[in-house]
Each structure stands twice: as structure tokens, then as C-alpha cells.
Amino acid sequence: MRSDRTSSRASLRPRWLAEAVRAPMSVAEIGAVIRTLRRRAPAWRPTAVAEVAAEQADPFRVLIACLLSLRTQDATTRDASERLFGVADTPTAMLRLSSARISRLIFPVGFYRTKARVIREISRDLIDRFGGAVPSDLEALLTLKGVGRKTANLVVTIGFAKPGICVDIHVHRISNRLGFVRTTSPDQTELALRAKLPRRYWIGYNDLLVAFGQNVCRPLSPHCSRCPVARWCRKVGVGRTR
């Protein structure tokens, strides 16, 4: 009966998803990859959002740091987050600031003027609809202006320590390069990972692969000669290496 239910679920998958999860790397191999990267991770600097969460595990701070990090380098995000949260780190406090003041505090993050307006709108929305608290539900988070699946999943995993899969360009690229999934977009990668990656690995998967991608598995000419998981990697799409 159990195998019948499994077969039924598999048959209901869209064709692209069925192909995506048939990528060559097995679940056992990705487990070995994750365990190996966890051992190496202390030598790599965490992402800016992870550092914000480590300093104070507050979902609002995580949400705002996520927004600041979009199209922005980590070093800039760290500095902007520190300046902003030094002045306001709750929805109520944020609304006391004008968009112009927020813009000055977060400059030079990408699209800083737009982000300043969005931060105020989100703060107002949180107060009006959620009693000033950041919702822990993915679908509720997606109703907030400027919050996409990447940001929502990161808030769920880092802000609330709940299972979720945040897929940015690093996670999309490396999951495909390893040969664990076969997809063409971050949204497809998220769904493929939800279908194939054991739930126990969901929290932390993003931070682990982002740090790995920034330090070793670079987009162009990755450092395969010193890669700790080279023995399992299928090197899909890799040309020149170091």
C-alpha cells in the first residue's frame, strides 16, 4: 500500500519536476555533501543576513536585512543593517522615520530609495494586519509588498527556525552543478528541492551553499582543486576550473 501511494504521488508531478528530481546525484550523496560543507563552514564568513540573525534572532530584523540584501553585496548589507537597526528595529520605530531618513541610513544598498519606501509600507502593513508581528507563515509573508519567495523562505528558516527552502542564484546554480536537481530557474529549483531534499536539511541549506559559492564554488572558474565535495560533484556545466 505504501509503494502504491508513493507511485501515485510521483505520477501527479508535472513532467518538468519529474525530470528535475531524476538528476544523477542521490539523496545519500547530497547528505554527504551537506555534512562535509557543515564541517568546513566555520572557516567561511556567514552571509550578512545570517550575521544579523546571530546577533539578535528577531524576525523583523531578518526580514528587513533580507530586503536590504537584494541586489547588494554582503559587506554593504552588513553596514546598512547596522546603521538602520541602530536607529529603528521595530515596525513602530521604523514608521517614525521618513523615507528620506531611511534612504540615508541604508545608502548605498541597491535601489535604496525604493527599499526605503517598501520598508515603511511593510512596517505599516505589519501593524495594520498582523498586530506589529512578522507572520511565520510563508503564504502570509508573500502578501507583504516587496517580499518574494526567496525573502519569505529566508525569514521562515532564519527568523523562525522553521523548515523552508530559500533559493537564490547561488543555491540554484550549485544544486544544478552538483547534479542534485536539473532545473532552469530558482523557482523550479525550490520546488525540486522540496520534492527531493530530505526535510532535515532544509534549514541552513541556503546559508551553507551561499557561503560555499562565495568562497569555493564560484560562478566562473570554480576552485575545484580545493573543493571539499569534488568527489561527489557532477560538475554540470563547468568549463574552466582552478
Active site residues: 150, 168
- CA dihedral sign, ordered 124, 80, 73, 191: negative
Take residue 204 and report the three cell numbers written for it: 541552513
Q: Percentages helix, strand, coil for the chain, rounded to the nearest 5? A: 60, 0, 40
Which H or E run includes 123?
A: helix 112-130
Task: Extract long-range pairs of 120-123: CB within 8 Å, 24+ residues apart.
Answer: 120/94, 120/95, 121/145, 121/146, 122/63, 122/64, 122/67, 122/91, 122/146, 122/147, 123/91, 123/92, 123/94, 123/95
Distance of alpha carbon 160 from alpha carbon 143, whole angstroms: 18
